Amino acid sequence: MNYKKTCSLSIVSHGQVELVKKLLSDLEPFSDFILEIFVTLNIPETFEMNVYSNNIMIINNSTVKGFGCNHNMALQKANGKYFFVLNPDLRVTTFNFESFIQKLHAKDVGVLSPSITNLLGHSEDHIRNFPTLKVLFKRFFFKSKTDNFKYPTNKSELIKSELIDADWIAGMFMVFQKDTFNKINGFDESFFLYLEDVDICKRIQSFGYRVCIDPSNKVMHDAQRGSHKSLRLFLIHCYSFIKYFKKWGI
């Protein structure tokens, strides 16, 4: 199957244009597969896009919108068969688009992510079990990470694993077939900034699809954890958990 010019990418900047530029530069070698890249400027910023060979589409928001709303808006304009949701603080230096998309076509896969490390090469906790009130309490007040997914560490086990199934994967790098994304009606825009990724993985599974990791493909993440530094974002995070538990139960 030919996957050239089939991928639509969505990146949202919250005053992070310098990070976006680095990511766009990383993506230049993959222009054979990339049909278009949507860059949503969630707050006013100056952005020069004439230095890239990829087709860059700029969306300027007049008001600040949430994670899900921004990516839904980009998908409505997208023409690709595959929809990539990317954080601006990712670094993509080596990536096999063809093998990755082939795995997206594996039986019942609804959303796929690569393996993600920090800049030091340590695995990010981007794969977790669905949250519960008990685990959430431990995580916030005792810094416990008991909700972390048991990620294979044995190299031979990873080599054997074509795909790793998980409850949910973080929204820093999520890839959908466009038809699947439309079938589940995209992200739930009633969430704002947090738990959109958990919710969409929950809905994907409710439709009978799988949430998977491709361990053979890796990207790096320079984490920008705003809710750890801002009281306002922390409160939004808490509100999102309340909304999630009301929707899905405790």
Please check whether residue 1 lies inside any domain of the structure: no
Residue 182 is part of which domain span? 7-248
196-204: average pLDDT? 96
Please check whether residue 2 lies inside any domain of the structure: no
Distance CA 221, CA 29 (A): 19
Compute the mean pLDDT over every residue in the chain, rounded to the nearest whole number.
Answer: 87
156-184: average pLDDT? 86
pTM assigned to the model: 0.88
Please check whether residue 69 lies inside any domain of the structure: yes
pLDDT in tens, 23-32: 999 999 999 9
**Interstrand relation of 164-165 and 210-221 (parallel, antiparallel or unpaired):** antiparallel
CATH code where residue 237 lies: 3.90.550.10
Termini Cα distance of the chain:
43
Give the pLDDT of residue 155.
46
**Helix, strand, coil: what percent of the chain each, to 5?**
35, 25, 40
Give the pLDDT of residue 193.
74
pLDDT top residue among 1 and 32: 32
Q: How many domains would you assign to the chain?
A: 1
Give the pLDDT of residue 229.
61
Least confident of 3-12, 74-83, 138-147, 188-197: 138-147
Longest Cα pair distance anywhere in the chain, in angstroms?
A: 50
207-226: average pLDDT? 88
pLDDT top residue among 84 and 247: 84
